[in-house]
């Protein structure tokens, strides 16, 4: 079940809520004041392992020259 991030429209509290995908559009109430929670963009990172036990994040980084654009193509 995915975890969604919300921000209360009344008290600005940021909180997480686990919801089924089919329920994503249902209203969520703030646990602090009961105000309506507005869904926010969540940013997360994930690191996995290959069948050989190699860290996939490290394998990806080794193939590029680094940077946010994967190979130094930002200036092109």
Alpha-carbon span 54 to 36, nearest angstrom: 44
Backbone Cα Rg of the chain: 19
Q: Tell me which fold the domain 1-43 belongs to.
A: Rubrerythrin, domain 2 (2.20.28)
Give residue 57's Cα distance to chain centre: 16
Alpha-carbon span 32 to 20, nearest angstrom: 22
pTM above threshold 0.85: no
pLDDT band at 62 (very low <50, low <70, confident <90, very high): very low
pLDDT tens across 22-46, in order? 998 899 999 999 999 999 987 766 6
The sign of the dihedral angle between the CA atoms of 37, 39, 43, 45 is positive
Domain ranges, ordered by start, for the chain: 1-43
């Amino acid at each position: 079940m995915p975890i969604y991030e919300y921000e209360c429209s009344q008290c600005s509290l940021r909180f997480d809520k686990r919801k089924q995908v089919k329920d994503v559009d249902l209203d969520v109430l703030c646990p602090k004041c009961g105000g309506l929670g507005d869904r926010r963009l969540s940013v997360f990172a994930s690191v996995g392992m290959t069948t050989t036990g190699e860290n996939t994040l490290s394998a990806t980084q080794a193939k590029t020259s680094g940077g946010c654009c994967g190979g130094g193509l930002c200036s092109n």
